[in-house]
Amino acid sequence: MVGKEKVLEAASQACEMVNEAKGSAISVSKVTVNKANNIVVFLNNENGVTIDDCANVSKAFETLIDREAEDYSLTVSSMGSN
């Protein structure tokens, strides 16, 4: 099982990678990991989170934690509106 701390660190680093490349301000709001290695990463941005933001963070995340080695599923989403 991938540890929650490792996932949070990778998700934060993925956001930084996307922010540098796209000039955005995406951050991690929440991360969940269950025993089946289903990872859910929720993003936040003052200007809203787009589908492209989620896709870009997902792609960056997958460069940081090898899906083959860890055998996980990944969902990247926004927290939604309040």
- Using CA atoms, how far apart are residues 43 and 8, in angstroms rounded to an integer? 11
For 5-61, the pLDDT digits (tens) are 999 999 999 999 999 999 999 999 999 999 999 999 999 999 999 999 999 999 999
Residue 82: what pLDDT? 47
> Over 90: is that where the pLDDT of 81 sits?
no
Burial class of residue 2 (count of CB atoms within 10 Å of its CB; 0-12, 13-18, 19+): middle
Question: In angstroms, rounded to a whole number, what is the distance separating the alpha carbons of residues 78 and 48?
Answer: 8
Beta-ladder partners of 40: 32, 75
Answer whether residue 63 shows pLDDT above 80: yes
Best CATH choice for the domain 4-78 from the list 3.30.300.20, 3.40.50.920, 3.90.1170.50, 3.20.20.100: 3.30.300.20
